[in-house]
Structure 1
Amino acid sequence: MRVVATKEPKLGTVVRTLRGRDQEQYAVVVGFVDSRTVLIADGDKRKFDAPKKKNVLHLEITDFISSEVASSIQETGRVTNGKIRYALLKFAEGMTAEESGKETSNG
């Protein structure tokens, strides 16, 4: 997965935290506070009902957007924690597939 530092996050975007107690963890953007602050959740330790407020500068924004999470939030105003965990699982599978592809092409 390609990571873009200057990209604006959207609903359902998978991000990696760079600062704080949850450093190096992946989460999904589930809301916005203002232009610099987003709400993130991972569906496990950070549930949708109690998301973490995070400064965009403290996040690494990936190009992976979960359409299921984004459409669920837009349609009903909420998303299940299972859908968030599923989106992160699909992202992780894509990362491992990409890494294994790099290893075979370089070797």
Structure 2
Amino acid sequence: MQPTPATSLLITTVVDLVTRATNGAHRDVSALVRERLAGSAEGRAALAGLAGKQAHPAAADALRTVLQREIAADAAFTAALARAVIGEPALGPPPARPHPRLPGRW
């Protein structure tokens, strides 16, 4: 099954971020992907190809293939990836609302 254009864009973005995890947002995406893919031999192999300063060119393709399958199989993982890519925190309790009589932007 072919991914939708939005899914293809997400996969391309995630592969790019994982291959160059240098700042906070990149590291969050990379950590999420690495944690997920560490659970399968194919995922570990795809990640191993990215190790070192000279990542093997086929490694990004392998990562793309594994991610496509993971995303197709798990909507919650897809949503978590999308949130990480745009820099939103993981789901948790909403921030506390200030007292109704105190000034605030609610």
Q: Which has the larger radius of gyration?
A: 2
Q: Which has the higher helix share?
A: 2
Into which bin does the TM-score normalised by the smaller protein fall? Answer: 0.3 to 0.5
Q: Which has the higher strand share?
A: 1
TM-score, length of structure 1 as denominator length: 0.34
Higher relative contact order (CA 8 A, sep 6+): 1
TM-score, length of structure 2 as denominator length: 0.34
